[in-house]
Amino acid sequence: MSINLNVTKVGQGPNLVFLHGWGVNSGVWQPLIDILANEYCITTIDLPGYGKNHQELPEPYDIGSVSKLIAAHLPADCVLIGWSLGGLIAQQVAYDFPDKLQRLVLICSSPKFAKDLGWPGIDKDVLMLFARQLSLDFSKMLERFLMIQAMGSENAKFDVKTIKQNVQQYPNPSETALLAGLKMLENVDLRQQLSTLAIPCHLFLGRLDSLVPAAISEHLAECCPGVNIEVIAHASHAPFISDTDGFTKQLKAVLHR
């Protein structure tokens, strides 16, 4: 059975496409959309199993099948912007379908999320804990995950409240998609693909991010020298929420290059 994802478009101008992170949906982008829609045509795509696409589940559910689905819904000559898990999927799209993209922008994302010898990242025990908690209480698990995302932000409680308000307008994600996403975060390693990327790539990192440590910038400078990296001094995992106006200016500066 073919899968046709629900896609939302707003605004006019150059094409920007946004991919959200794990556990949430495209509602997370609303503060940014409210500003950017005056200058850009913005496409948001809920990942399979999330938001408006919560019933759309590819088989197998892996990074290859998801990136292929996303690529089929991209407007021509777009800038693909991915946050967290959405950034991991965006990297796969950029590697597999470079002709569809003008540029790749990653926000608090990484080619390898799991911590490993000589590579900073998320401890695999933390990912396993979220997997166990999923079957118990999704709402409480999401609350904990959002709090971890906001750690370090001066407005942590506000950040969590804003994200929850925006994403709770849509259906809860599929447990299948959530578990598959955790497996991607645990196992996928795209460092080799990112090092050979055929299009420009800009990565925003938050100095206070506890999920994607800013320390990966040093390692990426060695293995992926073509990636332009910018560390935001006072940001944690969701800089477009904690300082929407400031992040918008930084994003526009990249888009105008």
Catalytically active residues are 84, 209, 237
**Structure tokens that stand for 245 in this block:** 């106006």
- E strands, the chain, are 7-10, 15-19, 41-45, 78-83, 101-107, 201-206, 228-232
For residues 223 and 211, give the distance between their C-alpha atoms in angstroms, rounded to a whole number: 20
- Write the secondary structure of 27-75 as one string of H (helix), E (strand) and C (coil): HHHHHHHHHHCCCCEEEEECCCCCHHHCCCCCCCCCHHHHHHHHHCCCC
Give SS3 for 178: helix
